[in-house]
Each structure stands twice: as structure tokens, then as C-alpha cells.
């Protein structure tokens, strides 16, 4: 692909990622597109204007946010039908990732117009890269419910997932959120706080959930700014670890059935892994 200055394609919507803090994190391709499109749909036109001014770009802007996204379907479709090019940006990061944009993208694609992603900063991935997590699997949840009851239920549903969990949280809810996380996941589960990423007061802190509230309360500055919260994957039980009930069931069945049948039936009764039950069954067999 040609690596020279990006030329925009008529009748195309560009989904452009913008810096999450440090304005120098914008990509050269993003600057090319913002300078070349006919109009920019921005979550907050003031924020976007500040970015454009920094790079001497002057463009027509209009607001596209969560409360008016559906109302702008017709406007954007008309622009594209005229062959115009439109860039869509949010205040920070990648549009449609816990931010407006998803509805517009779907509508534009359904109308047969081209949608082009211009990749760049994303707070969740930025935080994950410095969390020191080796597991390749993670689930990005975004913002949890704002009140405790629904939040606790959401966290309880996430607890069984065998992967790291990534959340966004606002400063005025951070204490309540962490208290609920500790209640659901237990005080030993680790958490990484990534706060004010790429900005002057960037903070990355790892601790146990049981220590997290004390860390936040020790300094009011630690409760300021937007948060990314990462819960690394919980330690998995060793293959030979079984609940007492599952072990007892397995032992009873082994007295009456061949080993493979006993393991199969024990797995159906207990819900435990067949491989784990088989390993334990082998260890329970008397030496020949």
C-alpha cells in the first residue's frame, strides 16, 4: 500500500482515533484525514477544535454525541450521498469504544457507504500494555452500571470468566465501584489502576483489592481523572484440586464402576472437569 500522504475517498465516513491525553500521540494518517475531509463530526466541538488548532487544521465541525447520534443519521447520509467525506471523532480515543459512533457506523454501512477506520489511541489497550499481564485473553467491559445493585449483579456475572477484565470508571464512582469489586471478587484478587494515561499526572498502581480502598483514600489526588481498571485473570485451581464433594463422589463411584465410567459419571454429577477428575482418580488407585 502507498505510504505517502493519505488521500481521502469521496462518499466515505472515516472513524478517526484521537489522543487520550497527550496531543502528540495522534498518528500522521489521522492528521492527513482530518485535514482532507469535508466535515468533522465531533463528540465535543470545543475539544476537537483545540486539537485541530494545535496542528493548524481548519474544518467545519458539528456535534455528534450520545444524545443526538440517531438524529444525525439523515444529515450524514445526505453528506455522503453528495460525495462528501466525513470524519468522526470523540473527545479522546477510538470512536464507538464506550463512546458514541456505533449507531452511525452501522447506519452508514447499511446505506451502502464506505466506512474506513483510522486506528490510534485507546485507553483500555494502553492500560493493558503496562499492567504486566502475560495472559493473552481479556474481556473489555467498559463502564459498569452506575448504582450498586446492578453493578454487583454485573460483576457477579463476570466472575466466572477465565480472563482478565477491563473496565472504565469515573472518579466520582471509583470508591463505590472498588468496594463492590472487593465484595464480588474477594480481597486477594489483584487490580491495576491506570489513571490519567498519557497526561502529566499519569498513575499506574497495582495492588490487591483488599488494599485498594485504602490506597485511594490515602490521597485525594488518586481519586481524580478517568480510570481504567484491570483485574488480571484469577489464579486457576491446580488440576488435582477438587471440591470435597466431587472427590467423595468420585471415590464412591470408583468402588462400583471401572475408572473411566466413574470419572464420566462423576463429571456429570459434580460439573468438574473430566481431565481433573481423571488425574485425581489415577492418584487414588492403589499401586499395582
Cell digits of residue 236: 486457576
What pLDDT does 160 receive?
87
The predicted-structure confidence for 170-226, as pLDDT tens digits, reads as follows 999 999 999 999 999 999 999 999 999 999 999 999 999 999 999 999 999 999 999
What pLDDT does 279 receive?
80
Mean pLDDT over 251-265 rounds to: 90
- CATH of 124-231 given 3.30.2010.10, 3.30.950.10, 3.40.50.300, 2.60.15.10: 3.30.950.10
- CATH of 12-121 given 2.60.40.3670, 3.40.50.150, 2.60.40.1220, 3.40.1010.10: 3.40.1010.10
| Per-domain boundaries in the chain | 12-121, 124-231, 244-284
pTM assigned to the model: 0.79
The predicted-structure confidence for 189-204, as pLDDT tens digits, reads as follows 999 999 999 999 999 9
Give DSSP secondary structure letters for 213-268.
HHHHHT-GGGG-S-EEEEEPPPPPPPTT---HHHHHHHHHHHHHS-HHHHHHHHHH
Judge whether residue 135 has pLDDT over 60. Answer: yes
Q: What share of the chain is helix, strand, coil (3-state, %, to 5)?
A: 45, 20, 40
Amino acid at each position: 500500500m502507498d505510504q505517502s500522504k493519505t488521500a481521502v475517498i469521496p462518499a466515505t465516513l472515516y472513524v478517526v482515533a484521537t489522543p487520550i491525553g497527550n496531543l502528540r500521540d495522534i498518528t500522521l494518517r489521522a492528521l492527513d484525514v482530518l485535514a482532507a475531509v469535508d466535515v468533522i463530526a465531533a463528540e465535543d466541538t470545543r475539544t476537537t477544535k483545540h486539537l485541530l488548532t494545535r496542528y493548524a487544521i481548519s474544518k467545519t465541525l458539528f456535534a455528534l454525541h450520545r444524545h443526538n447520534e440517531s438524529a444525525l443519521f439523515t444529515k450524514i447520509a445526505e453528506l455522503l450521498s453528495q460525495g462528501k467525506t466525513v470524519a468522526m471523532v470523540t473527545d479522546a480515543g477510538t470512536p464507538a469504544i464506550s463512546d458514541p459512533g456505533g449507531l452511525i457506523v452501522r447506519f452508514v454501512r447499511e446505506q451502502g457507504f464506505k466506512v474506513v477506520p483510522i486506528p490510534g489511541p485507546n485507553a483500555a489497550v494502553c492500560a493493558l500494555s503496562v499492567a504486566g499481564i502475560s495472559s493473552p485473553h481479556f474481556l473489555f467491559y467498559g463502564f459498569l452500571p452506575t448504582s450498586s445493585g446492578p453493578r454487583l449483579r454485573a460483576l457477579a456475572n463476570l466472575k466466572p470468566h477465565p480472563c482478565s477484565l477491563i473496565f472504565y470508571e469515573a472518579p466520582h464512582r471509583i470508591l463505590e465501584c472498588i468496594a463492590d469489586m472487593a465484595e464480588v471478587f474477594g480481597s486477594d484478587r489483584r487490580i491495576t489502576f491506570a489513571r490519567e494515561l498519557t497526561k502529566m499526572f499519569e498513575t499506574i498502581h497495582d495492588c490487591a483489592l483488599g488494599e485498594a480502598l485504602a490506597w485511594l483514600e490515602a490521597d485525594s489526588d488518586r481519586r481524580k481523572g478517568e480510570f481504567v481498571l484491570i483485574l488480571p485473570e484469577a489464579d486457576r485451581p491446580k488440576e488435582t484440586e477438587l471440591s470435597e464433594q466431587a472427590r467423595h463422589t468420585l471415590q464412591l463411584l470408583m468402588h462400583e464402576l471401572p475408572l473411566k465410567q466413574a470419572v464420566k459419571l462423576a463429571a456429570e454429577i459434580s460439573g468438574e472437569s473430566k481431565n481433573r477428575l481423571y488425574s485425581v482418580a489415577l492418584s487414588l488407585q492403589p499401586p499395582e
